[in-house]
Amino acid sequence: MTRRLLVTSALPYANGAIHLGHLLEHIQTDIWVRFQRLRGHEVIYVCADDTHGAATMLKAEEAGVSPETLIESLRVAHAADFQGFLISHDNYYSTHSPENKALSESIYLALRERGLIFTRGVEQLFDPARGMFLADRFVKGNCPRCQSPDQYGDNCDACGATYDAMELGAPRSLLSGATPERRTSDHYFFDLPQYTDFLRGWHERGAVQPEVANKLTEWLDAGLKPWDISRDAPYFGFVIPGTEDKYFYVWLDAPIGYMASFANLLGQRGRSDEFGAWWDRDSTAEVHHFIGKDIVNFHALFWPAMLDGAGYRTPTRIHTHGFVTVDGTKMSKSRGTFINASTYLRHLKPEYLRYYFAAKLNGTVDDIDLNLEDFVARVNSDLVGKIVNIASRCAGFITRLCDGVLAPALHQPELWQRYRDAADSIAGCYERGDTARALREITALADLANQYIAEHAPWTLAKDPAQRDAVRAIATQGVELFRMLMLYLSPVLPGMARATEDFLAIPPLTWSDLDRPLLAHRINAFTPLIGRLEAEAVERMIADEREAHVDVSAPAAASAAPASSDVSAIEPFKPEIGIDDFARIDLRVARIVAASPVEGADKLLRLTLSLGDSERQVFAGIRSAYDPTALVGRLTVVVANLAPRKMRFGTSEGMVLAAGPGGRDIFLLSPDSGAEPGMVVR
RNA sequence: GGCUACGUAGCUCAGCUGGUUAGAGCGCGGCAUUCAUAAUGCUGAGGUCGUUGGUUCAAGUCCAACCGUAGCUACCA
């Protein structure tokens, strides 16, 4: 029976490049998709960029472009990165699209019609300087429980407390530095609690993995809360119908983006009338979402509830994966392990990573570790040494001794049958997402082939012209076993599968090609299908990625650091001074009233500082770490009696204090709230 | 703090509903081989299954506590 499958990967957010984390998910999805296609099912694989939200708006502002320009350039870049990794999206769209707007509005209206939407006043922090409400992410202050300074608006890094942003002590806006005020505005809510029983049933019916179901049960038992689906202007997104200044929260329209990308694809293919066959309540098609474990709540609570509320079918399955770590730790920009797709592709072939991730993915939510040493060893020994080697060591006999034509019969049909018998088990592994097990079974088959070849030693027989047929039979068996292996591996290694088809001079492989061995057939001369993965290339990639995040102009202090140290070197202390020496330095609290980049200077910002009753201009080499607009309004500390210094761009009348090695790691000092410009620091 | 996972040979991982002396691949030692992108075959060494306690005739496998790691804790995306 042919299944109709709509498959998605989570939508990458339009604020940065594609990195290893996105790649894990898309590679996982793509393997599943290609497996299903190989089996002859109808698969549509769509994705898109997730574009809305205050973050996009601010980012565009910072870059000095419109949000539309920003998101389109990122969408193009993202799509190219995915193509580079052989990800076979049928459509890579955007949530900022007419289809998504129409669907979001109609779903919202349907929910409202069913009494699932209500409004309620919500009090939130408001940035008076920027004229906007502040998401938790854009506020910092003191933790209400442990008083740790500099904590975000939702929880405390130091003590783990969770709280409301309004409970923060001495809050300040990260956008303007201003002190936020409390304001109330009406918000629109989706009445999620009405869906508690529905969701419980949906989870129990196997739509999620058991570990995920546990987590969801915990949330359900704790009691669901209505979901706030609106944001006040200014916001980049879709206006809520019937309002002037309320927008859909980005997480409302993001999953609808799956439907919208799908609708757009149908439009391109002139099949728009089929939409309902996939999304109506009685649809017999399947919908599969691949996501990371961090966004389970959106996909397994809000999303199915919204769909059902609006009269659509719910997803068939949510496939949740863990996070990527590199050498056992979180990806880190300074260590060079925050690896971007484009950096990877400059140094390494995509199929190395596809193979390695496939060897690790097992369908659970466990994190996946990219151990770089293991990566090199595994790819070389399995892919090159074990699998490709089978073709490499057999093909020569066929080409040189047999005119390129395979024998008419198998030398050892029982061995071939063992390969054939593995099909169901391997298919089951792919279907469950346990590609690690699939690859274990496949490489075990490869071991059998190498043993077989060693046992029959065709190179010995080849010395005797009378044994020509025996040599051909053995080499044919080897080539055929290799064909079977590549068929099994083709979802993981699509590029190598294509190259294998060229080598064997056969049409694209399908699952039914397992039924009949390739015999009495002319093949092409073998050329290496994939080279070895050089450890040096991996090192170059890491170095490249590390450099991309380090400011070249940063002080060379790091070079003095012991190689074993992860943190920046602690600079040696300077010679002792007396208090009189210190007293000569006039440190003052200053408010940054204006900040702008300096034309012609890479590192400098021009700051206008207020010291109470006077203002002065100071140049600061902090451009690599601070966005000028984010500095305006905030307090800092300035050396007020530093001799003025003439620079190419003007005179600098002081120096602001900052710590850190340089590059992105520059940290401007700021006094606790209450300090006023002009106050002496002592 | 609460919750959810995970913690098995140097490395990466298997070990299904508890049942003989705990497995694989890589790496390492030895032997063989030379067709092959120094790839392959045979063979050897290597583990108190995070710790402690418990249930059981029997526990890596169940329970509890603790330690460690990662994540979640909804109006960040």
The answer to whether A135 CB is within 7 Å of strand B is yes
Both tokens of A330, joined, read 């979180």
Is the whole-model pTM more than 0.95? no
* Environment class of A490 (CB within 10 Å of its CB; exposed 0-12, middle 13-18, buried 19+): buried
The answer to whether A453 CB is within 7 Å of strand B is yes
Q: Which residue has the tokens 């409390």?
A: A182
C-beta of residue A118 within 8 angstroms of C-beta of residue A102: no
Chain B bases having any atom below 7 Å from a protein CB: 1-6, 11-15, 24-27, 33-42, 70-77
The DSSP code for A239 is: B
**Helices A413-421/A423-432 angle, 10° precision:** 20
Torsion of CA A12, A439, A499, A84, to 10 degrees: 10
Give the best-scoring range by mean pLDDT among A130-134, A551-555, A627-631.
A130-134
Mean pLDDT (whole number) for A604-618: 80
Beta strands in A306-439 (DSSP E): 317-321, 324-326, 329-330, 368-370
Q: CA-to-C1' distance for A412 and B20, Å?
A: 35
Percent of chain A with pLDDT over 70: 90
Subset of residues 339-368 in chain A with CB less than 7 angstroms from any atom in strand B: 359-360, 362, 364-368
Buried b (16+ CB within 10 A) or exposed e, A587-623: bbbbbbeebeebeeeebbbbbbbbbeeeebbbbbbbb
A55-78 pLDDT tens trace? 888 888 888 889 999 999 999 999
pLDDT of A236 over the 70 cut: yes
Closest-lying nucleotide for A378 based on CA to C1': B26
The answer to whether A392 CB is within 7 Å of strand B is yes
Residue nearest to nucleotide B39 (CA to C1'): A385
Q: Is the peptide bond before A677 cis (omega within 30 degrees of 0)?
A: no
C-beta of residue A382 within 8 angstroms of C-beta of residue A351: no
Subset of residues 393-432 in chain A with CB less than 7 angstroms from any atom in strand B: 393-394, 396-397
Q: CA-to-C1' distance for A417 and B70, Å?
A: 43
ipTM of the complex: 0.91
- Residue A565 has a pLDDT of 28
- Residue A577 has a pLDDT of 65
- Cα–Cα distance measured from residue A667 to residue A660, given in angstroms and rounded to the nearest whole number: 6
- Cα–Cα distance measured from residue A381 to residue A374, given in angstroms and rounded to the nearest whole number: 10
Q: CA-to-C1' distance for A83 and B39, Å?
A: 31
Mean pLDDT (whole number) for A542-554: 65
Least confident among A39-48, A239-248, A670-679 = A670-679
Q: pLDDT band at residue A661, thresholds of 50, 70 and 90?
A: low
CA distances A293 to A128, A366, A513, Å, are 36, 9, 37
Q: How many helices, marked H, and strands, marked E, lie in chain A?
A: 23, 27
